[in-house]
C-alpha cells in the first residue's frame, strides 16, 4: 500500500466532508421551514419575544459566513450551541457517542454473526429445507421497518443493539449467501471438490479468501447501514445516543447540531468504507 | 413465471383491489369519528375495531394502503428517471462528467438514507396540509433515492460507451444527446426497470419509518407509517389481547415481501 494511495484517500475524505457539511447546511438553510420555530406558535409570547427569538437565529441566515465561522470554531474545538437543547454540541456529542458506538458495535457484530450463521451452512451444505428456512427468516426481517423492529424489541425488553442487528442481518445474509453460492460454482472450487477435499478445507482455503475483499467492502457498508438504523431504533427505544440526537435536532430544526452530525456521520461512513476498501485491496494482494 | 411470483402478483392485485373497493368493504370515511366508540373491538360495522378517536381502523388501513401503493411507485419512477439521467449521462460522457456525478453520488451515499430524509423532511414548513405532506414525503423519497441506482446505471452506460453500435452511431455523426437518448438509454432499460422495482419496497419501508417517527404523512390522512405509530402506545399484553392492532404490520409485510419476490432477479443476479 503506497503512501500516495493513503494520502489520496485522506484528501478525498476531507474534501467530501467539507463539501458534504456545506451542502447539508445549505440544504437545511434553503428548506422552506428554516427559521420557523414552534415556540413562535405559543400564544403567550409577545411580539417582542418572537422578535427576540428570530434575532437569535439571524447569524444562521447567511449560510457561507455561518459555515466559515463554524469551521473556524471547529478547529478550536468549538462546535457551537444547540438551539433546541440549549447545550454545547461538543458536550452533547461526548455524552452520546459512546452510547451509539455500543449499539452500533453490537448491531454490526450481531448482524454479521446471524448472517454468517445462516449463510455458511446454507451455501456449504445446500440443504433445501435449511435454505428455505434461512431465506424465510431473513425475508421476514427484511420486510419490517427498522422502527417496528425497535418497537418489537422494546416490548420484549431487548437492547437497541439487538434491533440494529436484526435490521442488518437480512441484507448481509442475502448478499453473503449469494456471494458464497456463486463462489462455490467457481472452477477452482469445483476442482477442489472433485479432488475430494473436505468441506471445511474448501471453505477455509478456497472460498473464504476468494470472497474476503467483497465481504470486507460489505463490512464498511454495514457500518453506514447501522448508523442509519440507529436513528429510528434510538428514537423509539429512548436510548440517548447520536441517532436520538439526530431525531431531536431534526424535529427542533437545530442547524448547529445537524451540521455537526452530518460531518460526523459522513466521516464515520467514509472512514469505514475506505478502511474496508483498503483491507480488501490488501487481501487481494496476498499470494494464495 | 414461477409459482411464488404468480402468488406475489395475485396478492398485490388482491390488496390493490381491496383499496379500490374501500367504500364497499368499509363504508365509514377514514376521518369520520364515532365519538361514542373509541378503541372499540372488531364488530360487524368495524371489522378491525376503532382507534382512540373512534375512527374505523379498516377504513384507515385501506386508505393508507392506497396512498402507499400509489405513491411509492410514483416516487420510484422519479428516482429511476433521475438515476437514468445522472448515471446515463455520466457513464456515456465519461471523464470529468463521470467523476463529478460519481462524486455527488458518493456524497449522497456517504450519509445514511434515513438521516438525510429525516433532516430534509423536518425542515419543511409546519403548516403543511395532509395532502401536501403526502406529496412532499414521497417526492422527497424520489428526489433523494437516486444515488445508488445512478451508480448502477453509470456502470451500465460506461460498458455501452465503447460498444460497436455506439461507436458506429458516433462515427455516423450522431450528436451526444441523440446517441444517449436513442441508443444508450433504451439499452439501459433492463437496469432501469430493475432499479424501479428495487426502489418500491425501499420507499414503502422508508415512509413507514418516517411515519413512526412522526415525520411522515400528516393526520387525518392515514399511511402505513402513521398506522404503525399506534403500536407505540401498546405493550406485549395489549397486543396479545388485541391482535387486530397488528393487521397493518402484517399487510405491510405481505406487500413488501410480494414486491421483493417480484424483483427481476433473473436478469440481475445479485
pLDDT tens for each residue of B248-260:
999 999 999 998 8
Whole-model pTM: value is 0.83
**Share above pLDDT 90 across residues of chain A, in percent, rounded to a whole number:** 19
Task: Give a yes or no: residue B47 inside a domain.
Answer: yes
Report the residue of chain A nearest B270, measured CA to CA. A178
Confidence grade of residue A116 (pLDDT, cut at 50, 70, 90): very high
Is residue A35 over pLDDT 80?
A: no
Residue A21 has pLDDT above 80, yes or no: no
Mean pLDDT of B12-22: 90
pLDDT confidence of residue A18: 83
| Grid cell digits, residue B226 | 402513521
Q: Does A224 touch chain B (CB under 8 A)?
A: yes
A231 with B118: Cβ contact below 8 A: yes
Q: Is A56 on the interface with B (CB under 8 A)?
A: no
Q: Please report the pLDDT score of residue B39 as a whole number.
A: 85
Is there a domain that residue B139 lies in?
A: yes
**Are the beta carbons of A24 and B120 separated by less than 8 Å?**
no
For A180-206, the pLDDT digits (tens) are 999 998 899 999 999 988 888 998 898
- Report d(CA B122, CA B53) in Å as an integer: 26
- Residue pLDDT, tens place only, A239-273: 899 989 988 888 877 878 888 888 888 888 888 88
- The mean pLDDT of B236-244, rounded to a whole number, is 85
Q: List all residues of chain A from 3 to 42 with a beta carbon under 8 Å from chain B.
A: 16, 19-20, 23-24, 27-28, 31-34, 36, 38, 41
CA distance B164 to chain A (A): 30
Is the CB of residue A174 less than 8 Å away from at least one CB of chain B?
Answer: yes
Structural domains counted in chain A: 1
Partner-chain contact B122 A250, CB within 8 Å: yes
Tens-digit pLDDT profile for residues B209-237: 888 888 878 778 888 888 888 888 888 88
Q: B183: which DSSP letter?
A: I
Q: How far is CA B55 from CA A136, B17, B21, B49, B62, in A?
A: 35, 22, 18, 8, 13
ipTM strictly over 0.95?
A: no
Q: Cα–chain-centroid distance for residue A252?
A: 22
- Look at residue A28 and tell me whether its pLDDT is greater than 80: no
What's the CATH code of the domain at B224?
1.10.3720.10
Cα–Cα distance for residue pair A230/A163, rounded to 1 Å: 9
CATH code, A42: 1.10.3720.10
* Per-residue pLDDT tens digits for A137-149: 888 898 888 888 8
Query: What is the C-alpha to C-alpha distance for residues B36 and B51, in angstroms, rounded to an integer?
Result: 12
Say yes or no: B106 contacts chain A, CB-CB below 8 A: yes
The reply to whether B269 falls in a domain is no
pLDDT of residue A287: 47
The verdict on B252 touching A (C-beta cutoff 8 Å) is: yes
| Segments forming the whole domain that contains residue A104 | 3-285
Lowest mean pLDDT among A173-177, B37-41, B72-76: B37-41
Question: pLDDT exceeding 90 applies to what percent of chain B?
Answer: 21
Three-state DSSP string of chain A: CCHHHHHHHHHHHHHHHHHHHHHHHHHHHHCCCCCCCHHHHCCCCCHHHHHHHHHHCHHHCCHHHHHHHHHHHHHCCCCCECCCCCCEHHHHHHHHHHHHHHHHHHHHHHHHHHHHHHHHHHHHHCCHHHHHHHHHHHHHHHCCCHHHHHHHHHHHCCCHHHHHHHHHHHHHHHHHHHHHHHHHCCHHHHHHHHCCCCHHHHHHHHHHHHHHHHHHHHHHHHHHHHHHHHHHHHHHHCCCCHHHHHHHHHHCCCHHHHHHHHHHHHHHHHHHHHHHHHHHHHHHHCCC
Shortest alpha-carbon distance between residue A109 and chain B (Å): 19
pLDDT digits (tens, 9 = 90+) for B70-82: 889 999 999 999 9
pLDDT for residue B80? 94
pLDDT given for residue B126 in this prediction: 61
- Asked if residue B178 belongs to a domain, the reply is yes
Residue of A nearest to B203 (CA): A145
Q: Averaging pLDDT over each range in A61-65, A193-197, B238-242, which range is the top one?
A: A193-197
Identify which of B111, B234, B249 has the shortest CB distance to residue A266: B111
pLDDT for position B270: 35
pLDDT for residue A288 is more than 60 = no
CA of B173 to nearest chain A CA: how many angstroms apart? Answer: 38
* Residue contact B209–A225, C-beta within 8 A: no
How many domains, in total, are found in chain B? 1
Contacts of A36 in chain B (CB under 8 A): 125-126
Which one is predicted more confidently, A112 or A75? A112
Nearest to B209 among A142, A232, A269 (CB): A232
What is the domain extent for residue B175? 3-261
- Position B24 in a domain: yes
Name the residue among A28, A144, A231 with its Cβ closest to that of B115: A231
Which of A143, A168, A262 is most worth mutating to test chain B (most B CB atoms within 10 A of its CB)?
A143
Can you read off the three cell numbers belonging to residue B241? 389481547
A168 confidence band (pLDDT: 50, 70, 90) = very high
Closest chain A residue to the Cα of B212, Cα to Cα: A147
Do B112 and A139 lie within an 8 Å CB cutoff?
no
Q: Tell me: pLDDT of A284 over 80.
A: no
The per-residue pLDDT for A61 is: 66
CB contact under 8 A, A232 and B212: yes
- pLDDT of B22 strictly over 90: no
Is B172 in the A-facing interface, judged by CB distances under 8 Å? no
Nearest CA-CA partner of A169 in A221, A122, A111, A118: A111
Amino acid at each position: 500500500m503506497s503512501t500516495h494511495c493513503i494520502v489520496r484517500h485522506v484528501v478525498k475524505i476531507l474534501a467530501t466532508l467539507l463539501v458534504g457539511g456545506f451542502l447539508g447546511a445549505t440544504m437545511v438553510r434553503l428548506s422552506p421551514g428554516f427559521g420557523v420555530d414552534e415556540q413562535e406558535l405559543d400564544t403567550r409570547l409577545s411580539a417582542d419575544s418572537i422578535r427576540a427569538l428570530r434575532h437569535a437565529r439571524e447569524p444562521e441566515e447567511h449560510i457561507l459566513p455561518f459555515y466559515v465561522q463554524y469551521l473556524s470554531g471547529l478547529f478550536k474545538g468549538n462546535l457551537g450551541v444547540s438551539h433546541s437543547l440549549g447545550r454545547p454540541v461538543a458536550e452533547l456529542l461526548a455524552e452520546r457517542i459512546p452510547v451509539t458506538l455500543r449499539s452500533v458495535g453490537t448491531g454490526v457484530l450481531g448482524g454479521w454473526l446471524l448472517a454468517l450463521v445462516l449463510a455458511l451452512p446454507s451455501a456449504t451444505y445446500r440443504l433445501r429445507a435449511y435454505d428455505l428456512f434461512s431465506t424465510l427468516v431473513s425475508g421476514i426481517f427484511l420486510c419490517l421497518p427498522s422502527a417496528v423492529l425497535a418497537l418489537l424489541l422494546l416490548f420484549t425488553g431487548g437492547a437497541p443493539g439487538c434491533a440494529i442487528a436484526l435490521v442488518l442481518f437480512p441484507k448481509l445474509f442475502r448478499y453473503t449467501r449469494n456471494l458464497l453460492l456463486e463462489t462455490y460454482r467457481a472452477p477452482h472450487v469445483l476442482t477442489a471438490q472433485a479432488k475430494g477435499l473436505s468441506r471445511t478445507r474448501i471453505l477455509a482455503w478456497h472460498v473464504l479468501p476468494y470472497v474476503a475483499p467483497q465481504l470486507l467492502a460489505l463490512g464498511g457498508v454495514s457500518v453506514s447501514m447501522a448508523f442509519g438504523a440507529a436513528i429510528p431504533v434510538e428514537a423509539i427505544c429512548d436510548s440517548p445516543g447520536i441517532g436520538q440526537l439526530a431525531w431531536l435536532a431534526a424535529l427542533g430544526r437545530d442547524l448547529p447540531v445537524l451540521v455537526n452530525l452530518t460531518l460526523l456521520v459522513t466521516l464515520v461512513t467514509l472512514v469505514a468504507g475506505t478502511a474496508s476498501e483498503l483491507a480488501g485491496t490488501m487481501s487481494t494482494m496476498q499470494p494464495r | 413465471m414461477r409459482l411464488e411470483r404468480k402468488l406475489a402478483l395475485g396478492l398485490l392485485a388482491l390488496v390493490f383491489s381491496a383499496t379500490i373497493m374501500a367504500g364497499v368493504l368499509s363504508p365509514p370515511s377514514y376521518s369520520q369519528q364515532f365519538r361514542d366508540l373509541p378503541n372499540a373491538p372488531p364488530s360487524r360495522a368495524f371489522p378491525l375495531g376503532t382507534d382512540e378517536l373512534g375512527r374505523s381502523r379498516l377504513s384507515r388501513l385501506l386508505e393508507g394502503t392506497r396512498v402507499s401503493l400509489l405513491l411509492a411507485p410514483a416516487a420510484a419512477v422519479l428516482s429511476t428517471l433521475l438515476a437514468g439521467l445522472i448515471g446515463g449521462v455520466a457513464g456515456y460522457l465519461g471523464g470529468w462528467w463521470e467523476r463529478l456525478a460519481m462524486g455527488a453520488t458518493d456524497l449522497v451515499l456517504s450519509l445514511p438514507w434515513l438521516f438525510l430524509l429525516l433532516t430534509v423532511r423536518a425542515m419543511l414548513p409546519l403548516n403543511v396540509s395532509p395532502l401536501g405532506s403526502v406529496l412532499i414525503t414521497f417526492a422527497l423519497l424520489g428526489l433523494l433515492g437516486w444515488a445508488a441506482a445512478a451508480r448502477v446505471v453509470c456502470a451500465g452506460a460506461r460498458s455501452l460507451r465503447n460498444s460497436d453500435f455506439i461507436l458506429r452511431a458516433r462515427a455516423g455523426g450522431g450528436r451526444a444527446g441523440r446517441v444517449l437518448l436513442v441508443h444508450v438509454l433504451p439499452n439501459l432499460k433492463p437496469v432501469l426497470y430493475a432499479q424501479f422495482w428495487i426502489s418500491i419496497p425501499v420507499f414503502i419501508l422508508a415512509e413507514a419509518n418516517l411515519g413512526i417517527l412522526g415525520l411522515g404523512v400528516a393526520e387525518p390522512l392515514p399511511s402505513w407509517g402513521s398506522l404503525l405509530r399506534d403500536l407505540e402506545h401498546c405493550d406485549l399484553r395489549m397486543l396479545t389481547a388485541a391482535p387486530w392492532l397488528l393487521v397493518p404490520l402484517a399487510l405491510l409485510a405481505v406487500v413488501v415481501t410480494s414486491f421483493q419476490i417480484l424483483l427481476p432477479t433473473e436478469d440481475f443476479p445479485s
